[in-house]
Chains A and B, each alone.
Chain A
Amino acid sequence: MINNNNITKNKEPLFSAKNLKLLKGPLNEVNPITIQVLGICSALAVTVQIKPALVMAISVTVVVAFSNLIISLIRNTIPSRIRIIVQLIIVAALVIIVDQFLKAYMYDVSKKLSVFVGLIITNCIIMGRLEAFAMNNKPWPSFLDGIGNGLGYGIILVIVAFFRELLGSGKILGHQVVPQSFYDAGYIDNGLMILPPMALIIIGIIIWIQRSISKNIVNN
């Protein structure tokens, strides 16, 4: 039996259909934000502009992927009574490391993200993936699952940030896209877009659109 398992494991390509599903699933049908409704808090806070949203997305992806990988590697040694604490320590350490790197190499963005980098620790997506996936799966699928979920979180963040930055300050990635002639003609940036409630409403609209396109999500 053990031999058989090893053989099948060796034969399975790195990006088999099953593994690809781990990567792609969270982008749409099991998206952490729109379907599982996790990680909403930071999605509201860092989506005023696209750049911080992008950096946040990358940071979360790195933290989920590597915490999944590490937890999966040591999953058989973790005593189940202290598993949540062990997970937290790993996640917290990774978050601190990411934060230090941002401060050293992307200082301006790290200032914008301020406390929200630290708060990745409490992002439910990460603990959720560790408990639901990494504790019971091999390292490589866990790593892919982490990347998938990080990207699934990130894509929603960037979409929300795109609309908030465009409608709220007339810019995309800091470049003015709404021409001055619009403003001269009486167009005004929507100040409400900059405030957190609009992020919630945009996420709501995304969920609505997603569910009207793929009906099977509703049935499940």
Chain B
Amino acid sequence: MFSNRYIFIYSTILVIVVAIAITLTSLTLKPKQLENIRIEKMQNILKAANINADKNNAKKLYEQYITECFAVNIKGEKINNINAFNIDLEKEFKKNKVEQQLPVYVCTGKNSEKYYIIPIKGKGLWGPIWGYIGLCDDFNTIYGTFFDHQGETPGLGAEINTDKFQNNFKGKKIFDEKGEFTSVKVIKGGANPDDIHSVDAISGSTITSNGVSEMIKSCLSLYIEFFKNQRQKEICYDKQ
């Protein structure tokens, strides 16, 4: 039989030893983990500009193609002296609209054509969904998209991170002919192929699909003023 004193000392020592072991592991591996997250973000941004990067060349390709990275406010004015890459969208969305800092990544292609990549974030069925939308320099046509999710149903909502779903968005437009913001909707039961403002939903995942619609609409709408300021009458050079 062990005395109470022994039990107390035993448990204290055990907890301290375990705590030290965990702290050491965590501290040694932290830089590597943060680097993984950064590289993943670069891959995702590149994906929205239709550049497929793996984790080995993501950094190189990012430096090569993403030529500019800045933040704007709701009025479409550039905010100076800020590292836009590290902006946490979730924190920004909780702020007042006036104070929000909205990141924009500019990708310069091989023929020095420019694409503007906008980060988006929203809610799926089970948890957060997020992504990036790459716009042509008419600030209207979608050039590429990337979506990902935390825990959507595999085979249903989780399909939003597949090329099959993401490619549907290419060439769709977010403004109508009158210049009104319409966003791109994900339509249950199949969108009319001629409709330039909607894409097919994934059958069986209504809530995730609606989440994607809502996410694109709410996030892009914050940039409307920026788009209007920047808009030039150039037709998107479509490689497809």
Contact = CB atoms under 8 A, between A and B. Distances in A.
A107 B36 CA distance: 7
A100 to B, nearest CB: 5
A48 interface: yes
A82 B9 CA distance: 12
Nearest to B17: A93
Interface residues of A, number: 27
B14 A191 contact: no
Dominant secondary structure of chain B at its interface with chain A: helix
Interface string B14-43: 110010011001100100110011001000
A86 to B, nearest CB: 6
Contact of B204 (A93, A104, A191): A191
A86 B153 CA distance: 36
B14 A97 contact: no
A168 B156 CA distance: 12
Contact of A48 (B2, B15, B21, B154): B154
Contacts of A191: 155-156, 204
A191 B55 CA distance: 30
B2 A194 contact: no
Given A79-B10, A93-B21, A100-B26, A194 B36 contact: no
Interface in A108-158: 108, 114
B11 A104 contact: no
Interface string A59-91: 000000000000000000111111001100110
B7 interface: yes
B155 A89 contact: no
Nearest to A114: B151
A105 B155 contact: no
Nearest to B36: A107
A172 interface: no
Contact of B154 (A96, A105, A108, A194): A194
Interface residues of B, number: 26
A97 B26 CA distance: 8
Contacts, number: 63
A135 to B, nearest CB: 15
Given A77-B10, A79-B7, A96 B155 contact: no
Contacts of B25: 96-97, 100-101
A80, A90, A103, A195: residue with the most chain B Cβ atoms closer than 10 Å: A103
A169 interface: yes
Nearest to B40: A107
A114 B152 CA distance: 12
Contact of A105 (B10, B32, B40, B204): B32
Contact of A85 (B11, B37, B204): B11
B150 A104 contact: no
Interface in A166-210: 168-169, 191, 194-195
A89 B11 CA distance: 10
A86 B151 contact: no
B6 A79 contact: yes
Candidate in B14, B15, B22, B151 with the most chain A CB atoms within 10 angstroms = B14
B6 A103 contact: no
B2 A100 contact: no
A121 to B, nearest CB: 13
Nearest to B27: A100
Contacts of A97: 21-22, 25
12 contacts: A79-B6, A79-B10, A81-B2, A81-B7, A89-B14, A89-B15, A96-B22, A104-B36, A107-B55, A114-B151, A191-B156, A191-B204
Given A82-B11, A100-B29, A104-B29, 13 more contacts: A48-B155, A77-B10, A79-B2, A81-B7, A96-B22, A96-B25, A97-B22, A100-B26, A103-B29, A107-B33, A107-B37, A191-B156, A191-B204
